[in-house]
Amino acid sequence: MGRARRAARDDAGTAAVEFAIVAPLVFFLLFWTFEVGWELFELQGAQATATAVARDVGLDATSATDVLNRATCLALRNGPGGARLTHIRIGFSRDAGGKVGLPLTQNPTGYVTVLLTYKSKLAGVLPTPIASRDGTFSTSAVSRFQQAPLGALLSGLDAAVPLLPSCS
């Protein structure tokens, strides 16, 4: 019996040591899982916004400033809550892949491609495969346009997003 009591006294601090070794890994995985979940939530909202912007531009593309304002307002209403839209790139092409440009003919048919770049306010603390280290991520959508873009918009739009758009 004397040996059993001595062995029990020697194991008194092992639980604390094991916790000190395992706890940082468990907490890292827990917080990493929360961050990946948040980034997926933001990415889903951004994808829905890109689809809505592509559909909107495909239905009516009048001027570059009008398209930029409407896209920014759509992103503010529908976009991810913790991310801010920073850049919009819109291109028009004959094919869905964006490789063949539009001909300068009357009423061409084709596709509009929208690329939205966001800056997340919460992501970027831990490295994940979704957002870059500084918290930026991009999403795109393609839609067939119903009405050909006018004038200078035919070559596309590549612009930074205004901080305070005039949304109605």
DSSP sequence for 87-152: EEEEEEESSTTS-SPPPSSSS---EEEEEEEEEESSTTSS--SSS-TTSEEEEEEEEE-SSPPPGG
pTM listed for this prediction = 0.75
Cβ proximity of 94 and 102 under 8 Å: yes
How many C-beta atoms surround the C-beta of residue 110 within 10 A? 20
Residue 108 has pLDDT above 70, yes or no: no
Sequence spans of domains, the chain: 2-160
DSSP tally for the chain: helices H, then strands E: 3, 4
Name the strands in the sheet holding 157-160, side by side, starting at the edge strand that comes first in the sequence. Answer: 136-144, 111-120, 83-93, 157-160
Q: Which two tokens mark 14?
A: 């092992």
Residue 31 has pLDDT above 70, yes or no: yes
Estimate the crossing angle of helix 64-78 against helix 14-59, to 10 degrees: 140
pLDDT tens-digit readout, 60-96: 767 777 778 877 787 777 666 667 888 888 888 877 7
Farthest-apart Cα atoms in the chain, separation: 99
pLDDT at site 30: 92
